[in-house]
Amino acid sequence: MSERVRNLKEIFPGAIGALDGTLIHAVVPLNQQARYRGRGRGDCFQNVLAMCDFNMIFTYVWAGWEGIAHDARVLREVAFDPNSRFSFPPPNKYYLCDAAYPNTRSFLTPYRNTRKKEKKPKTVLLFSGHPFSLFSTTIIASSPL
Q: Where are the domains of the chain?
A: 3-142
Whole-structure pTM over 0.75, yes or no? no
pLDDT by position in tens, the chain (length 145): 688 778 888 888 889 999 998 888 778 788 887 777 766 677 788 888 899 988 889 999 988 777 777 888 888 888 888 888 888 899 999 999 988 888 888 888 887 665 555 555 544 444 444 444 344 444 444 444 4
Count the alpha carbons within 13 Å of 99 in the hemisphere toward its beta carbon. 7
Sequence letter at residue 70: H
End-to-end CA distance of the chain: 33
Q: Which helix (H) or strand (E) holds 142?
A: strand 138-142
Rg, the chain, Cα only: 17
Cβ pair 46, 56 in contact under 8 A: no
